[in-house]
Amino acid sequence: MLAQGAGGLLVAGAAALGLAGCGATGKPSSRGPAAPARGAGPAGDRAAALRPAVLIGDGSMADTGAQPFQPVPERLEPGRRPPQFVVFSWDGAGEDSKKLFSHFRTVAQEVKATMSFFLSGIYVLPEGKKDLYLPPGHRPGASDIGYLADGHVRATLEQVRLAWLEGHEIGTHFNGHFCSPTTGVGTWTSEQWRSELEQAVGFVEKWKTNTGLHDMEPLPFDYRRELIGGRTPCLLGQDRLLPTAAAMGWKYDASSPGGNQVWPGKKLGLWDFPLQSIPFPGHHFQVLSMDYNMLANQTGGTPNGDPSRRPYWQQQAYGSYMAGFNRAYTTNRAPFFIGNHFESWNGGIYIKAVEQALRDIAAHPDVRLVSFRQLVHWLEAQNPSVLAKLRTLNVGQTPTNWSDYTAPA
């Protein structure tokens, strides 16, 4: 069944029933028979109708058909203001004792959002098997982020499975998160990026072999085909990653170290979705739309700043997200990108700030809370001349007449 969604989206619904039993730590540098109209719409307490699973490889993955609850994009009508797309993305998505992955899946259900979860490949590799990871320029098993406990590996796999069934995107945050200026990802060649990316995919493809968790159901997708984008650690190395990513079938990259709130274009053939410079309350300068960048400006990078200042910092972070959203929403309608980590820095204030912003943004009309993958599909459905016109709109520029920008040339 198709339900007409605002902003030129037809939203695909799905009936109940699915696979039986349907049920981290980041580094500094998401009812009824039809899906909700705010994008792909999570499944909530439903399971999507999937075709019988065809196991892949060792049974870690399965081909179950098209991902459920994905919107079918339509072209903008001439003269119509674009919907406001907002993408919430999570670097190093994993489920540890804080249970933030599962928490934000629940929040996404409540606000009818879909998100991009960037999985760190080593989060599905047990620490006892860490020598299987051969990081470029480092000893086997080395990593600048910790490996998850075995129980958290299991929990992460379950969260990834459920998130995909609810319509969320599973992207990649690669593996070891190396930020060193001499041996980190910013120094890697295209060949080293290919090794890192192949390993990130390979750990997902062979998690049953590596973990021994044969009692768990397979992931209901082929990750090699599903993966069309991600974000590099530390926002470094994009220039040498892109040729490799394009050759491996990527459609976008979210690793640019900073951009403006304008309509996106392509870089080396891939959609370029940078973190964006947004207003920072109390300052004349702007900040990148990510929790760590706010932390860096508030406490110099320490995750344990002055407790007496935390309420102010939380409100400042929330205000920054909302200022960025409102600037786009009331002017050029450029897609707004927010990046975060499943971390409890400064007592969890950034998690609280981004959740409050997510809920408040969701309450606005004509907002589409989507994944990067869904945004790519919408952009590629548009008339190229319309996108070219939209890209001429500057930060904070409000068109006098939207027909000048959304009518094909």
Note the pTM of the prediction, 2 decimals: 0.89
Q: What is the DSSP letter of 314?
A: H
Q: How far apart are CA 247 and CA 324, in angstroms?
A: 34
Q: Helix (H) and strand (E) counts for the chain?
A: 12, 15
Q: Is 126 helix (H, G, I), strand (E, B) or coil?
A: coil
For residue 276, which of 257, 295, 294, 291 has the smallest C-alpha distance?
257
Judged against a pLDDT cut of 70, whether residue 389 lies above it is answered with yes
pLDDT of residue 37: 38
For residue 159, which of 216, 84, 208 has the smallest C-alpha distance?
216
Judged against a pLDDT cut of 80, whether residue 16 lies above it is answered with no
Q: Is 61 helix (H, G, I), strand (E, B) or coil?
A: strand
Judged against a pLDDT cut of 80, whether residue 8 lies above it is answered with no
Residue pLDDT, tens place only, 23-75: 233 333 332 223 333 444 444 344 556 888 999 999 999 999 999 999 999 99
Q: What residue ranges define each of the domains in the chain, with the CATH number in brackets?
A: 2-397 (3.20.20.370)
Run of H or E residues at 3: strand 2-5
Are 242 and 256 in contact by the 8 Å Cβ rule? The answer is no
Residue pLDDT, tens place only, 313-333: 999 999 999 999 999 999 999
Residue pLDDT, tens place only, 328-383: 999 999 999 999 999 999 999 999 999 999 999 999 999 999 999 999 999 999 99
For residue 291, which of 362, 356, 230 has the smallest C-alpha distance?
356
Q: How far apart are CA 393 and CA 165, in angstroms?
A: 36
Q: What is the DSSP pairing of strand 71-73 with strand 9-12?
A: antiparallel
Are 135 and 183 in contact by the 8 Å Cβ rule? The answer is no
For residue 205, which of 44, 54, 66, 57 has the smallest C-alpha distance?
57
Residue pLDDT, tens place only, 268-308: 999 999 999 999 999 999 999 999 999 999 999 999 999 99
Largest CA distance in the chain: 61
Are 105 and 111 in contact by the 8 Å Cβ rule? The answer is no
| Between residues 13 and 57, the one the model is more confident about | 57
Q: Is 73 helix (H, G, I), strand (E, B) or coil?
A: strand
pLDDT of residue 18: 28
Rg of the chain's alpha carbons, rounded to an integer?
20
Amino acid present at 264: P
381-173-290-153 Cα dihedral, nearest 10 degrees: 120
Confidence of residue 82 (pLDDT cuts 50, 70, 90): very high
Amino acid present at 4: Q
Q: What is the mean pLDDT of residues 174-190?
A: 96
Q: What is the mean pLDDT of residues 1-19?
A: 32
Burial of 11 (0-12, 13-18, 19+ CB in 10 A): buried
Residue pLDDT, tens place only, 91-139: 999 999 999 999 999 999 999 999 999 999 999 999 999 999 999 999 9
Q: What is the mean pLDDT of residues 8-35?
A: 31
Mean model confidence pLDDT for the chain = 89
CA angle (117, 122, 127) in 5-degree steps: 140
Residue pLDDT, tens place only, 127-180: 999 999 999 999 999 999 999 999 999 999 999 999 999 999 999 999 999 999
Sign of CA dihedral 112, 114, 120, 125: positive
Q: How far apart are CA 243 and CA 253, in angstroms?
A: 11
